[in-house]
Structure 1
Amino acid sequence: MAEAETIQKTGVIKLRVRLILCLMIVVLVGGTVLSGCNFGSSGNNSSSTGAEDGAGSDAAPKQILNMIEGDEISTLDVAKDMSAVSANAMNSLFDGLFRYNDKDQPELALAQEYKVSEDGLTHTFILRDAQWSNGDPVTAHDFEYGWKRVMQEKGPYISLFELASLLNVNKILDGEMKPDDLGVKAIDDKTLEVKLSVPSPMLEMLLALPIFMPHNQKFVEQAGEKYGLEYDKVLSNGPFVMTDWKHDQSWQYKKNDRYWDAENVKLEEINVFVVKEGSAAVNLFDTGKVDRAVNLSPFDVTGYEGSEHFIKMATTSNSFIRLNPDFAPFKNENIRRAISMAVDRESLTSIVLNDGTIPSYGIVPANFAISPDNMYFRDVNGDLSKDTKEEAQALWQKGLSEIGQTKLEPTLIFSDVDWSKKTAEFLKAQLEKDLPGLTLKLKTVPHQQRVKQEKAFEYEMSLSTWGADYNDPTAFLDMWVTGRAANRMKYSNPSYDELFAKSTMETDPKKRYDMLLELEKILIKEDAALVPLIQFGNLILKRSNVKGLIEHYSGIEYSLKWAYIE
C-alpha cells in the first residue's frame, strides 16, 4: 500500500553541509565532540548506552533512545499522507482501535471490547478510558470525525477505506453521497458503530493502520492548514508526544504520561536524526551517538557480520518497472513480456546490489501472506515472469515486427538514491546487450518528483517501489484495480476488477486465497502489465541492550511502545 522508499533506501539528497562537517570531526578526533550537531539529548552528547557518569556500573540506564531515520517526516496528518517514515512517527504518537503486536497481528488498543452482528456487517466497539495529550478525553466522536475527515480530504491511501468495505465509501468517492454518509457513527462517547457493505476478512488488520486513527476536531480546526506540519501542531493519544521537530534534521519524542497504557511504556525520551547516507549512519553508531542505525549497505556494515548488534532481515517492500501504455510500443504485449523476461534479476541482486535483496518474479513478495494450507503466497504461485534469454529475444523480435519498428528508445525515470541508480545503470547495460534495437535512456529525478510524474502519467518507464502495510496479498493486488490512485499505469482489466471485487466479499478463506492467486496470474502472467524486479532486504545496526523494540516484517516498520534500555 505504501510507497516503499524503505528506510535503508531512502536517501534522496546529499547530507547537509553542517552534518558532513560534524562527521568529519568524528573521523578526525575519534568522535569526542558532536555538540555542534545536537546529537544526544537534552544537551548531553552521549547516547543512552554511552560512558558512565560516575554513578557506578549498577546504576539504572537512562531510558533514552537515540536513533536514525533515512528521511524526513512528510506530515503527521493521517488524512494527507502515510509514507514509511511518517507512518512510523504516527505509530508512536497515536493509538487506534487496534495496534500491531510483536507477531505483526492486531491487538486491542483503544477498543477494550467489541462485538460483531451475525451477518458480519455491524461492528460495535467499546472504548476504554483514554486521554489526548492535552487532557481531553478520547471519544467515539473523535473516530467518527477522523474517518469522515479522511473521506473529505480524499488522500492518497483512501483505498484502504474501500478495502475495509466501509458502508457507502464507493458512493462517496463517486460523488453520489457525502462523507457524512460513511458507515461510522458515535452512539455515545464510549461506543463506536462501524457498518460495512460486505463482511471484511481484514477489518481488524486494517484498523491498526494510522489512517484509521482518531482526530481531535477542536485541535485540528484550530491548527488549520498547519495541522500535522510542526511538533506543536499535532495532538497525541499514543505512547509518546512530539516535543521538537527540526525539519530535515531531527525530531524528539517524550513519554506521554496521559497515555492509557503509560505504565507499560519505559522509554522517557527518543531522539530521531535524519541521516540519508549509510556511512554517516554507521559513523554515528560506531561513536556511540545513536543506538539504532538504518539506511545501510553491505559495504557500510563490513565487520559487523556476526555481531550481536547486527540485524539482517527481509522486508515486504519491492521494486518493479511501470510501463506507460501512452508510450505506443508498450501497448504490445510481446514487447512488455520480452522486457520482463529478459531482466537478469539474479545478477542484479547478488552482484550489483548484494544487500540481502532477492529477485522478484511476481508482485506479491516472498515469505509473505500464509495460505489456509500454511504456505506462503509466492511459494504457491511460483515465478510468473521467468523464462530464458532466448525466449525473451524471440518475443522481442516478434513484438518489434508487430509494431513495425526495428528499435525502441524509451526513457526510464528513477529516484536519486544509491540502489535505484545502480539498478537503472545495470538495466541499461544488460537489456541493451540482450535485446537488440533497445536503447534505454536514463533520467534521475527526486523521489517525490518520480511519484508526481507517475500520478500524471508523464513517463514511459518508471523504476517504482511499493511496500505492504498489512499482512495480506491485497496490499499489492488492490492497487491495480481500474482507477485506483496507486495504479499510476492506466492498467485496466474488467476481469481483474470483477474478481477482485468478489474476493473482498468472499468469507471462505480458501476460496478467497485462490482468487488472490488468480489475480496475480492475470496481472503478471496473462497481461504482462509490469516488470517485477526485486524484493528488498534490510540491514540494521541496533545495540544489544535495546530491548522490546519490535522490527515489523509488514505494516509499520517498527514499534517503540514496548522498547527499553537494559
Structure 2
Amino acid sequence: MRILLLLLLFVAGCQRETLVERANREQKLIVSVGVDPETLDPQLFSSTNSLHVIRALFDGLMRPNAEGEAEMGLAERCERSPDGLTYTFYLREGRWSNGDLVCAQDFCFAYERILSPNLASPNAQLLYVLKNAKMFAEGKCAFADVGVKRIDDRTLALTLEQPPSYFLSLLYHPAWFPLNKGSVLKHGAIDDRNNEWAEPQNIVTNGAFCLDEAKQGQFIEVRKNPSYWNAAAIQLAKIRFEIIPDNNTEERAFRNHRLHVTETVPFSKIAYYQKERPKCVVVTPSRFSYYYLLNVDNPTLSSKDVRQALSLALDRESLRNLRQVPAFRLLPDYTRCPALTTTEFNPDKAKACLARAGYPNGKGFPKLTLTINNMESHKKTAEKVQEMWRKHLNIFVEIESLDWKVYLSRRRSGEFEIARGGWFADYNDPLAFLEIWKSHAANNYTHWSSETFDALLDASSHQSQGARTQTLAEAEKVLLEASPLIPLYFVNEIRLVDESVQHWKPNLLGWHLYEHVEVQQSKGLQ
C-alpha cells in the first residue's frame, strides 16, 4: 500500500504544469489576436488586431466603461464652457515608459502629427470636430489656428467647431492618445509615415502596460506599468498576445491549455463547446458591420446598376449562423437610427439591373476578383457569395485570398475590384459608421463620392438630436441606394474564454478593458 501511495505521489509530481496553469500562477493573461498587428502606432492602425494591443499600451483623456460610456482616464476632471465649445482637461500625474512626465504638450504634439497632411492618417477625421482641424489637415492654415491649447503642463483646452453630444466618447479612441514627442522625433520627422518610433524596440508608451518583448509573427508580451496612474487597480502582471492566424490552430491551443482567450471559434467546433464546455463560450451581440467593398474606379463597377445587381442577388439569410446576423443595412440596431431603406434578396430585380447595365443574363460580363484575407470564415462566406452570383446572375467572380498585411496594403492602395471589408464603431454614434464613406475619407476604399451624402453628414453636426438622427438615416439611405458597398451581416463576437479568467467583459464597442481582468489559479482547466 505504501509503495502504491509513493508511486501515485511520484506520478502526480511528474505531471507537467500547463501553460494556462503556470500563467494563472504568474497572473499572466494569454490571449490570441489572430493575425499580426500591422502597427502599434495609435495614429496609423486600421484593424482591431492592432487595437487590442494599443489599448493595453496607451491611455487617453477618457476611457470607456463596461457600458461603452465615457469616464475619466488620464484626465482627472474636465470643465465645459457655457457655449459648449471648449473643454478644459486637468491631467493626472502620469509617466511615460521612459520616465518622462505625461504633459499637455504631448497631446498638442500628437494632434499636430495626426492632422499633418503628409502623414495621411486613416483616423485623422476623428479630430475634425476640433476648430480648424480639417483646415489644417488640408494645408489651409497653421496648427496654431487649431483648437488645441496647452494652458500649463497639466491643463489642456480643446475648442470645437460644434458641440457634438458624443464628443467625450470620441476621446477614448487611440487617435486622441498623447505621444512622447522626443521618442517620435528621435526616429524621424513628425509627419513621416515610415518613422520607426512605434517598432517594439523603440516604442515609448503611457498605458496600463509596457511592451516587454515581441517576435514578429509569434507574440507580443506586455508587463504591468508600475507608473500608471491606476496601477493599484490592475491585477494582471503580464499579457501575452499570441499571433495565431489560423482558427483551427487557435482552437487546438485553447483545448491544449495554451491560451486563456481565443480571437474566434471555428464554425465546426462551436456546437462541441456549447455542449461540452458551455461556460467557456462567450457570445457578445453584434457590433461589427461586415460588407463587401466595390471599387467604383473599376469600369464595370462604376455602373450603379451592376453594383445593385450584385447586392440584390444575395440571399443573406443563407449566411445566418450563431456568429452572423444577416444585415440589410449598414447600421447595427444599437445605433437606434431608423432604416429608411434596406437591401433585399430579389433575383429578378438583380437580373434586370444587370441587363440594364448591358449584360443580359450575364452575357459579356467581365471576370471580376473578390479579394479577402486568408481566414476560414472569410473563405466560406466568399464561396457562398460566389455561388449565389453564379446561380442568380450567371457571372463568375474569382476569389483571391491574401496574407493579412498584403490584403491591407492592396485595399488601402485601391488595388482591388471587390474586397472584404468591415467596421467596428470608433465611438457610440451612427456617425462612426457613416463618416468613413465621405468623399476622400482615408477609409473610403471604394472611392465613391456623393455631394448629397457629404452635405447630410455636415448638416447633422448643427442639428438637435432628433433632427440629427433623421438626417443620418437619410445619409444611410443615399449610401445604400448608391451601393458602393454590399452589407452582408453583423458579426456576433464568439470567443472561448478559460474559466479562470475573471471580468472579461467587452463593452458596447467590443473593446476589452484589461485593467479589470484577472486570472484565478484556483479555477484552472479541469
Instruction: State the TM-score, normalized to the length of structure 1.
Output: 0.82
Matches of 2:340 and 2:280, distance apart in 1: 35
Provide structure 1 residue ranges, at least 5 long, that are not aligned to the other structure. 1-31, 50-60, 370-375
CA displacement 1:9-39 (0-9 Å, x = unmatched): xxxxxxxxxxxxxxxxxxxxxxx779xxxx9
Alignment match, 1:409:
367
Structure 1 214/275 Cα, relative in aligned 2: closer, same or farther at 3 Å?
Answer: same
From 316, 320, 323, give the equivalent of 1:356. Answer: 323
How far apart, in 1, do the equivalents of 2:95 and 2:432 lie? Answer: 32
Query: How far has the Cα of 1:87 moved from its partner?
Result: 1.5
Output the aligned Cα RMSD: 2.5
Choose 382-391 or 119-128, whichever is displaced more: 382-391
1:233 lines up with 2:202 in the alignment: yes
Determine whether 1:174 maps to 2:145: no
Which of 249, 263, 273 is the matching residue for 1:294?
Answer: 263
Contact 2:209 2:223 in 1 (8 A): yes
SS state of the match for residue 543, structure 1? coil
Q: Mean Cα displacement is larger for which, 457-466 or 264-273? A: 457-466
Match of 1:133 in 2: 97
Which AA in structure 1 matches 2:325? I
Asked if 1 retains the 8 angstrom alpha-carbon contact of 2:62 and 2:71, the reply is: yes
Deviation for aligned residue 1:402: 9.4
Quick one: which of 501, 505, 513 aligns to 1:550?
505
Question: What's the CA shift for 1:425?
Answer: 1.8
Q: Matches of 1:47 and 1:265 in 2, distance apart?
A: 19
Farther-moved stretch of structure 1 (407-416 vs 111-120): 407-416
Taking the aligned partners of 2:265 and 2:340, their CA distance within structure 1 comes to: 30
Contact 1:297 1:539 in 2 (8 A): no
Offset, 1:446 = 2.8
Q: Is the 8 A contact 1:67 1:290 kept in 2?
A: yes
**How far apart are 1:403 and its partner, in Å?**
13
Q: Is it true that 1:537 corresponds to 2:492 in the alignment?
A: yes
TM-score (norm 2): 0.88
Q: Tell me how far apart the structure 1 counterparts of residues 361 and 323 of structure 2 sit (CA, whole Å).
A: 39
Give the letter aligned to residue 159 of structure 1. Answer: Q
Return the alpha-carbon distance in structure 2 between the equivalents of residues 121 and 543 of structure 1. 46
Question: What does residue 124 of structure 2 align with?
Answer: 158
Q: CA deviation at 1:97?
A: 0.5
> How do 1:233-252 and structure 2 match up within 5 A?
233-252=202-221
> 1:554 and 1:255, CA in 2 relative to 1: closer, same or farther beyond 3 A?
same
Aligned partners of 1:69 and 1:247: how far apart in 2? Answer: 13
- The Cα offsets for residues 493-546 of structure 1, whole Å up to 9 and x where unpaired, read as 11111111011232x111111111111111103x23322112222221112231
**Aligned equivalents of 1:518 and 1:330: distance in 2?**
24
- Secondary structure, counterpart of 1:358 in structure 2: strand
Q: Counterpart of 2:310? A: 339
From 466, 470, 474, give the equivalent of 1:518: 474
Aligned to 2:513: 559
1:36-73 CA-to-partner distances (Å, cap 9, x unmatched) read: xxx94xxxx84434xxxxxxxxxxx5422222221223
- Structure 2, unmatched stretches of 5+, are 1-14, 189-194, 521-526
Tell me how far apart the structure 1 counterparts of residues 293 and 273 of structure 2 sit (CA, whole Å).
Answer: 36
Report the number of matched residues: 497
Aligned counterpart, 1:9:
none
Using the alignment, how far apart are the partners of 1:240 and 1:565 within structure 2?
16
Q: CA deviation at 1:136?
A: 2.0
Change (3 A) 1:333 1:468: same
Q: What SS does the aligned partner of 2:516 have? A: coil
The structural deviation recorded for 1:82 is 4.2
1:383 Cα shift?
6.0
Which of 315, 319, 338 matches 2:290?
A: 319
Change (3 A) 1:66 1:458: closer
The one-letter code matched in structure 2 to 1:515 is: T
Which residue of 41, 46, 49 corresponds with 1:85? 49
CA distance in 2 between partners of 1:521 and 1:253 (Å): 44
- Residue 328 of structure 1 aligns to a residue in which SS? coil
Aligned mates of 1:326, 1:403 — CA distance in 2: 24
Q: Tell me the SS of whatever aligns to 2:433.
A: helix
* Displacement after TM superposition at 1:285 (Å): 1.9
